[in-house]
Structures are given as C-alpha cells and as structure tokens.
C-alpha cells in the first residue's frame, strides 16, 4: 500500500470502518511507523478490542455532565452575573452594579440583622420639590428560605416579655410583613458562599411598602390627587456603594403621571441598627421629648398597657466617675458645603448653642460642629449618607426649616438626623424680626437687614431645629414663664433670655420699648432647655435598669413644682383651651404684651416708607410686604389675647403622684373680660394709624382691606370661636363663675352694629368688613355639625335679633347704599336661618 496523505488516510480508514473492514493494532502501528515525519493519525477501530474501547473518555463525560447540571440548576455561574462590567463595592454587604442591575452578596451573619431602609429625594428639577425630602422609611430584615431571600418589614410597636405566655400569641399576631421575595441568583466564590440576589426592583420603586409613589401637585378640580409612577425604562441606577454599616445608592429616576414627567435623583440608604441596643429611657409626660411608643401585652394591669421610650442620642461618659466628662462619642453635626459662606459661623454657633445644656447633663463638648469635607478631602463623603448628621441648606422658596431624625425603634436611640434650612426661611426671619424689633434694635430699623442681624437669626433657627434633632419637642408654655417687667429688664434677659425655652415659638422680644436697652433675641439655652437635656441625657451611677432610673428621673422632673420655668406643654388635649399655651408669644400677660407691641408697631408704621427700599423694576414690593408682615404680627398678638375666652388652665406638672392639687383651673373671669375689652378696643375699633395713607397710596387702597382681614379674624373670629363659646356654656352650666356667653357675643354685636339706627351710621371700609365677616361667621357656626345644640340655639337667637335690627335699619336708610347693604345682610340671615327645602324628584 502506498503512503497516503493524512487526510485521505483518515477518510480511507473511516470508509473501511463503515464497510466493516478492520485493521489490527499491528497494521496500524506499521502504517504510523512508515511515515515518521507525520504525527500518528490512525486509531484502533478493531471490533475485538476490550469493552471500554468505544466509550467516551473521562473529560468528555465530565463535560456532558456539566452541561446537563447547568440545565437542571436554578443558579447561574457567578461569572455570568458579576461580569467584567460590574462595579463592585465591599462593605456590610458586597454590592455589584452591572447593566443597570444591582446585586447584593448577603453574608450569613447579616441574615436576620435589622436595618433602616430610608428613601429621600437627593436631587430634583426646579419647582418640582426639594432636595433631602423624605419619601419612605422601613425597618427591614433579610431572611433566607431555601433558594429565596425574603425582605421583610418589622414593626416594633407591639411587645411582650420574653418567655411570657403572652409572648407566644403576640409573636403570632405581629409577624414581619413580606415586602418581596428575591430568588437567589448565585453564590459568592469565596468560602462563605454568600447568596447573591438581584435587588433592582427595590431601587426601581416596584414595592410601595418601601418606596411610596411621590404625589403629583394638588389639582383642586381633580377628585383625587394623582400619584407618580417610576418609569423603569427611562431610569438609571447611577451609583451603589457599600460601607461598614450602610449601603448608599442613587437612582436617576423619571416619574410619570398622566401627561406630566418629572426627573428626580433618589437616594436609598440602608443602615444597620446598632449591634447592641442603647439602654432606653422611659417617657415622662412632664418633659417634652419625641417618643417611640409600644403596646404591652405582658402588663400586670387589667388592660392593654402602653409605654414610651424617649428618642435621644447615645451619650456615654469617657470617665463615669467625673461629674462632667467628655463623651466617648460626641453628637457630631456637619455643616453642608452648600451653606452660604456668610452664615457658616452662625450655623456653627447654632449647633454648639446646646453645649452648656449638655454640660448640665454631665457632658463636656457633648455636641460639636464640623465643616463637611470637600470633594478633594474625601470623595466618598455625601450629605445624604446615613452615617452623617448634616445641616443642609436647601435651595427652595419655602420659608421654613425642619429638624427630622431617625431612631432605633428598639431603644429610642437617634442614629441619624438632618436640619433642613430652606433658603427662603431667611426672608421669613427678616420679616418677623423687623415687625417685632424694628423699633427697638437700631440695626433693624431699615430693610434689608444687615448680615450681622441675619446671622443672629440664622443661629436662632438652627439652634431650635437642632433641639428637635436631639429629641426635644416644642414647648409652647415656655413663653408664659416670664413677667412683662422681667422681659423689660436688661439683666434678667441677659441671664435667662426671652423665653424659658428656645423650643417655644417665642421668637423675639417685642414688648421692650426703645428706652429699655434690652436685646430682642436669645443667645443661650433657657432654663427649661437645660433642665430637659439633663433629664433626658444624665447618666446615673450603678448598673440601674430603665425602671430603676425612673425614680431618680422623677425627682428631676419634680423641680417643676417649685419652678414654673421648667414646665412643659405643647400638644396635650386640654392645651387648646389653655390661655398660657401659645405660639409666637412672650410674657405671662398677653394683653399687656400686645399693648406694648402695638406701641412699637405704631413707630414702625410711621417710618415704614423710609424703612423700605424702592427697588427699580419692582416698585414698592418691599413696602407692600413689610406692611402686610407688620399687620399680621398685630393680628397674631390679638390671637394670643383671644385665647382667654373660655380658658381653662391645665397643670401638666401636677399630673403624677401629687395629690390635693388642682390640675384644671378656670382662667379668672376678670382676665377674660379684660381680654375681650382689649380686643374690641384694638381690633374691632382699630386704631387709625393702621390705615396709613402714605403707605396705601404707594401700594393700593385695596391692600388695607386684604391685610386687615387677618386682624378681624383674630379680634372677632378667634374669641367667638365655637369651641371657646362652648367652653363658656359648659363652664356656666357647671356653676363656674365665668363670662356670660350671650352677653359676650352681644357685646360684639353692639360694637359692630351699634350705630346702624343712627342717622349717620359708620360706612367706612373697615366697618363694612367687620359686619360682613360677623354675619358670615354667625351663619357658618349655626350650620356647622361641630357646634353643640345649645350653642346653635344661642346663635340662632342672636342672629334673629340682629336680623330684626338690620331690617329696621334697611328701611330707615332706604334708597342709600347703607340701606341696601343692611337689606343684603338681613337677606343672608333670613336665608341662613330659614333654608329652603329641597324637593326630591
């Protein structure tokens, strides 16, 4: 046989084989040997070889098995998921961002751990919302069940003692809700073999429990407010980064609603709760803290009991033996790099305003301010990062500020907080201060206010909002702690401030007169502020339980019995009738405070044209705004006076273990009558200087009517509010010595309509406004389902009498404008008292 080339020889052998022609091993060896320059190309195809000769080799079998296993397996190869495109970050979880999908590698040790999942707006289109706004928050855990990971939300409000019989059913009645089930896609390649899950749907807003849809702007004509829906096709997950205790992710999201599209940047923060919960502190209703609330099914009381922990930061002394010690970890606040440079120092002072209060609680430098690092200093630093508490300067026209926080629901420990300073709050502050201190602070006599003053105001607001973020509630009785004489005493104000608490809405000292030489603004925490921080943060020696600490804490709270400056109240149910619990007020005598405040406003109004700037292309906008602000301030102060009517004082500090004390006291009758007379003299009979012709000829006569309505609402509407008149009716029925409700209302009727029978009744602009308002309010209260039957009967009787007077006056002045107007008011009362019956077809 001639030697064939390699290819042909193989074909020949193949054809031999198919024809059942078989070469022996010896023949094959001879063929291979005869061509020493060619690699062996022949194989044994003998039928008489051993039984395994025609079976595939081990490599071929393994390959087939792998392919078969892949078809059967639910899991993909790690490399198929975490590709070369993946952006990987290692921290509490390992995260992978690849092709707009996010994968978590969840270590076994973190399964069952508790996290806060917080969603915020970190960026927005102009006019479409504000940055740092909260969207949603859940306390969650990850659990493995077979080949799936469950994300579940946990509710901590229902409790029972561990090991108690009740705990068995409580656990069954308060199971963790399932947010979603995440199939395990693969496992990590390290020894831990951590499950890897695709959590993209959670970032893309597909689970309302975690990510409630943002609401569209309110359309008054629409029956329901539409909600936005995240458009997954147009949205991108731009960043995911893992840290030691948290994971931060950013989504550039498009939201759609009907024909509206909005683009927002959404920040997701997943933050691990502390490994060891802080020792909680039980709430005492006499001290104003935000609370975490619980229903207790293991109580020995014959009812479902409830209790609350206060919300506070974890402050622990470095040296517990010292009366005042540095903390192990202070409360650190960062000043956002977006803060206007001119206010940076004021923000710092507002944060560290609280240091003296923490010293009273035993901590030196318990709260500190730091400047946020620049991008060059720390590229990973982000104000939205849940690890940092930040004073944010928000570019928004909203005239407000906020101080929210996030707390561990197991203990009340505050673990993250923010203060949001909406930019236009500075305009609000400027208006307030000008209206309250424009006659007494030489720096504030002309608008716009200088930076020196504005810095004081920014510091004031930051201090108030940081107070919220360290756990403190408002204290609307703090203003009532000081007498008017004390507020006019420079030494007293320098030591104790304008109010017992900056957590009040006391604002600024508007009762002082130019000759008093008193600062209108606070610079230090008030007595209540220091007392409240001591009560909430003081450490006690010994390993005391929270219940054992309540005995010592109660002794601190008992100081209120001998010091009215330490009282607290803001939102208790009886507070709406307590004349001492006020907002925007100062002093224990609203009548005298408003009288002195009005003297200052008369001075301001007289110089208002010169005090405000004429702005090119804007005209007298600043004059207009300042005039409105000063009028509104007077109206606000009249509202303080009005709260005396039907007043009942609630002594919150006497509600625990203090017998033979009168918790509820009727506000003295003489003080109520004095308040009503003041309202009539300074609100119904409005002093003439308010209707300033020099101002109105520049901004328009109609502006007086527009703005003065706020005075009428407070001078007439507030004291005659249905709940105040109802209070008088009920107190009188109970035998209390109070103003007569009928005489009180008729006193207003006589003042507003007293001269309609005269030959020349009042017909000026303000009188017309008063009469129209009174009739409208009377009919509204008569028809209201909230008014008591006795009140409705009283008001109907007064309205019927007034209707008769208006009818006579209309006849007397027939043919004149006043006569027609009286007839119109009478017709309105007739229709309101005798409504037409609607006949159903």
Q: Answer whether residue 836 shows pLDDT above 70.
A: no
Would you state the pLDDT for residue 695? 97
Closest by alpha carbon to 682, among 751, 627, 626? 751
**How many Cα atoms are found within 13 Å in the side-chain-facing hemisphere of 78?**
11
Q: What is the pLDDT of residues 483-508, one digit of tens each?
A: 999 999 999 999 999 999 999 998 89
Burial of residue 279 (CB within 10 Å: 0-12, 13-18, 19+) is middle
Q: Following CA atoms 607, 612, 617, 618 in sequence, which dihedral angle do they give, to the nearest 10 degrees? A: -90
Q: Quickly list DSSP for 708-770.
A: HHHHHIIIIITTT-HHHHHHHHHHHHTT-----HHHHHHHHHHHHHTTTTSSS---SHHHHHH
Confidence of residue 51 (pLDDT cuts 50, 70, 90): very low
Alpha-helix residue ranges (DSSP H) falling in 784-839: 789-812, 817-833
Would you state the pLDDT for residue 522? 83
Would you state the pLDDT for residue 45? 36
Q: What CA–CA distance (Å, rounded) separates 796 from 787?
A: 12
Which residues neighbour 355 within 8 Å (Cβ) at sequence distance 6 or greater? Answer: 365, 366, 367
Q: Beta strand 260-272 with 148-153: parallel, antiparallel or unpaired?
A: unpaired
Q: Answer whether residue 626 shows pLDDT above 90.
A: yes
Confidence of residue 654 (pLDDT cuts 50, 70, 90): confident
266: which strand partners? 121, 251
Q: What CA–CA distance (Å, rounded) separates 298 from 166?
A: 6
For residue 34, report the phi and psi dihedrals to the nearest 5 degrees. Answer: -70, -15
Burial of residue 397 (CB within 10 Å: 0-12, 13-18, 19+) is exposed
Q: Answer whether residue 20 shows pLDDT above 50.
A: no
Q: Kindly list the domain boundaries of the chain, sorted by start residue.
A: 6-55, 78-273
Confidence of residue 29 (pLDDT cuts 50, 70, 90): low
370: which strand partners? 334
Q: What value does the CA radius of gyration of the chain take, rounded to a whole number of Å?
A: 38
Token pair for 70? 């892949």
Token pair for 144? 């493995």
Confidence of residue 837 (pLDDT cuts 50, 70, 90): low
Of residues 296 and 364, more confidence is placed in 364
Would you state the pLDDT for residue 661? 80
Q: What CA–CA distance (Å, rounded) separates 269 from 406?
A: 12
Would you state the pLDDT for residue 357? 98
Burial of residue 441 (CB within 10 Å: 0-12, 13-18, 19+) is buried
Token pair for 527? 């007595």
Burial of residue 428 (CB within 10 Å: 0-12, 13-18, 19+) is middle
| Percent of the chain's residues with pLDDT above 90 | 71
Would you state the pLDDT for residue 464? 96
Of residues 193 and 39, more confidence is placed in 193
SS3 of 121, please?
A: strand
- Residue 384 · residue 120 · CB < 8 Å: yes
The vertex-744 CA angle with 740 and 750, nearest 5°, equals: 140
Token pair for 508? 């600024």
Closest by alpha carbon to 472, among 310, 288, 652, 333? 288
Confidence of residue 1 (pLDDT cuts 50, 70, 90): very low
Would you state the pLDDT for residue 8? 38
Q: What CA–CA distance (Å, rounded) separates 491 from 605?
A: 29
Q: What CA–CA distance (Å, rounded) separates 342 from 426?
A: 12
Would you state the pLDDT for residue 57? 65
Q: Quickly list DSSP for 145-178.
A: ETTEEEEEE---SEE--TTSHHHHHHHHHTPPEE
Confidence of residue 18 (pLDDT cuts 50, 70, 90): very low
Q: What CA–CA distance (Å, rounded) separates 584 from 508?
A: 9
Q: Answer whether residue 40 shows pLDDT above 60.
A: no
Q: What CA–CA distance (Å, rounded) separates 301 from 294?
A: 15
Q: Answer whether residue 213 shows pLDDT above 90.
A: no
Q: What mean pLDDT comes out for the span 119-145?
A: 90
Token pair for 156? 């901590």
Q: Answer whether residue 841 shows pLDDT above 60.
A: no
Q: Answer whether residue 429 shows pLDDT above 80.
A: yes
327: which strand partners? 317
76-96 core/surface letters (b: 16 or more CB in 10 A; e: else): eeeeebbeeeeeebeebbbbb
Q: What is the pLDDT of residues 803-834, one digit of tens each?
A: 999 999 999 998 899 999 999 999 999 999 98
- Residue 272 · residue 259 · CB < 8 Å: no
Q: Answer whether residue 336 shows pLDDT above 60.
A: yes
Q: What CA–CA distance (Å, rounded) separates 268 from 256?
A: 20
| Percent of the chain's residues with pLDDT above 70 | 88
Q: Answer whether residue 628 shows pLDDT above 90.
A: yes
Would you state the pLDDT for residue 3? 38
Q: For residue 535, what is the enclosing H or E element?
A: helix 527-537
Q: What CA–CA distance (Å, rounded) separates 765 from 323?
A: 66
Q: What is the pLDDT of residues 723-777, one digit of tens each?
A: 999 999 999 999 999 999 999 999 999 999 998 988 888 889 999 999 999 999 9
Confidence of residue 173 (pLDDT cuts 50, 70, 90): confident
Q: For residue 249, what is the enclosing H or E element?
A: strand 246-257
SS3 of 76, please?
A: coil
Stretch among 89-103, 392-406, 576-590, 696-710 having the lowest mean pLDDT:
392-406
Q: What CA–CA distance (Å, rounded) separates 783 from 361?
A: 54
Q: Quickly list DSSP for 490-520.
A: HHHHHHH-SSS-TTSS--S--S--GGG---S
Q: Beta strand 158-159 with 291-296: parallel, antiparallel or unpaired?
A: parallel
Q: What CA–CA distance (Å, rounded) separates 598 from 682?
A: 9
Place of tokens 């009283």: 794
């Amino acid at each position: 046989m001639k030697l064939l080339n390699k290819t042909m020889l193989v074909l020949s052998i193949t054809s031999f084989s198919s024809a059942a022609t078989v070469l022996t091993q010896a023949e094959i060896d001879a063929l291979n040997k005869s061509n020493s320059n060619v690699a062996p190309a022949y194989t044994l195809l003998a039928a008489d070889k051993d039984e395994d000769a025609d079976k595939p080799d081990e490599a071929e079998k393994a390959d087939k098995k792998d392919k078969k296993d892949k078809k059967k397996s639910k899991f993909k190869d790690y490399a198929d998921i975490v590709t070369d495109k993946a952006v990987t970050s290692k921290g509490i979880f390992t995260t992978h961002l690849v092709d707009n999908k996010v994968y978590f590698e969840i270590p076994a040790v973190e399964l069952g751990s508790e996290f806060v999942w917080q969603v915020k707006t970190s960026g927005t289109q102009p006019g479409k919302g504000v940055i740092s706004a909260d969207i949603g928050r859940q306390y969650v855990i990850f659990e493995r069940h077979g080949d799936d990971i469950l994300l579940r939300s946990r509710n901590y409000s229902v409790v029972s003692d561990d090991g108690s019989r009740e705990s068995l059913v409580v656990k069954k009645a308060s199971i963790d809700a399932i947010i979603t089930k995440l199939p395990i896609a693969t496992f990590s390649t390290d020894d831990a073999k951590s499950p890897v899950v695709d959590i993209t749907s959670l970032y893309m807003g597909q689970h309302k429990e975690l990510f409630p849809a943002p609401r569209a702007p309110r359309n008054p004509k629409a029956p329901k407010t539409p909600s936005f829906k995240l458009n997954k096709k147009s949205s991108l997950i731009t960043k995911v980064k893992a840290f030691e205790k948290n994971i931060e992710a950013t989504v550039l999201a498009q939201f759609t609603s009907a024909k509206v599209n909005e683009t927002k940047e959404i920040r997701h923060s997943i933050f691990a709760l502390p490994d060891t919960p802080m020792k909680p502190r039980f709430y005492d209703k006499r001290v104003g803290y935000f609370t975490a609330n619980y229903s207790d099914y293991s109580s020995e009381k014959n009812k479902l009991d409830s209790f609350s922990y206060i919300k506070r930061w974890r402050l622990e002394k470095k040296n517990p033996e010292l009366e005042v010690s540095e903390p192990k970890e202070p409360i650190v606040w960062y000043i956002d790099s977006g803060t206007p440079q001119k206010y940076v120092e004021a923000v710092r002072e507002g944060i560290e305003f609280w240091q003296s209060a923490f010293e009273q609680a035993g901590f030196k430098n318990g709260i500190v301010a730091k400047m946020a690092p620049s991008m060059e200093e720390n590229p990973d630093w982000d104000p939205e990062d849940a690890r940092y508490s930040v004073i944010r300067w928000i570019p928004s026209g909203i005239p407000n500020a906020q101080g929210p926080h996030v707390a561990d629901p197991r203990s009340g420990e505050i673990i993250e907080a923010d203060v949001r300073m909406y930019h236009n709050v500075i305009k609000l502050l400027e208006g307030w201060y000008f209206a309250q201190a424009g006659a007494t602070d030489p720096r504030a006599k002309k608008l716009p206010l200088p930076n020196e003053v504005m810095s004081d105001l920014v510091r004031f607001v930051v201090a108030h909002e940081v107070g919220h973020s360290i756990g403190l509630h408002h204290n609307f009785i703090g203003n009532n702690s000081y007498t008017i004489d004390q507020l006019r005493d420079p030494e007293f104000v320098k030591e104790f401030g304008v109010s017992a608490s900056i957590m009040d809405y006391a604002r600024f000292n508007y009762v002082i007169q130019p000759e008093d030489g008193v600062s209108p603004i606070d610079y230090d925490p008030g007595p209540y502020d220091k007392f409240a921080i001591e009560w909430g943060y003081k450490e006690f020696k010994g390993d005391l339980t929270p219940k054992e600490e309540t005995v010592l804490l109660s002794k601190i709270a008992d100081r209120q019995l001998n010091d009215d400056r330490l009282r607290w109240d803001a939102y208790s149910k009886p507070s709406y009738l307590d004349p001492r619990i006020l907002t925007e007020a100062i002093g224990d005598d609203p009548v005298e405070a408003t009288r002195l405040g009005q003297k200052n406003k008369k001075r301001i109004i007289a110089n208002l044209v010169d005090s405000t700037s004429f702005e090119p292309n804007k005209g007298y906008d600043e004059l207009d705004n300042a005039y409105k602000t000063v009028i509104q301030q007077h109206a606000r102060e009249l509202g303080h006076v009005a709260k005396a009517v039907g007043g009942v004082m609630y002594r919150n500090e006497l509600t625990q273990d203090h017998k033979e004390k009168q918790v509820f006291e009727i506000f003295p009758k003489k003080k109520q009558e004095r308040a009503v007379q003041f309202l009539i003299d300074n609100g119904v009979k409005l002093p003439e200087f308010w209707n300033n012709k020099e101002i109105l000829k520049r901004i328009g006569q109609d502006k007086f009517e527009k703005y003065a309505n706020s005075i009428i609402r407070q001078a007439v509407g507030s004291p005659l509010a249905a709940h105040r008149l109802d209070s008088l009716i009920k107190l009188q029925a109970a035998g209390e010595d109070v103003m007569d409700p009928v005489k009180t209302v008729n006193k207003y009727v006589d003042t507003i309509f007293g001269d309609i029978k005269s030959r020349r009744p009042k017909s000026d602009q303000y009188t017309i406004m008063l009469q129209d308002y009174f009739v409208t309010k009377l009919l509204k209260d008569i028809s209201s389902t909230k008014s008591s039957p006795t009140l409705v009967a009283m008001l109907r009787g007064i309205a019927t009498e007034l209707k008769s007077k208006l009818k006579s006056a209309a006849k007397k002045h027939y043919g004149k404008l006043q006569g027609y107007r009286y007839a119109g008011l009478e017709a309105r009362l007739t229709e309101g008292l005798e409504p037409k019956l609607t006949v159903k077809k």
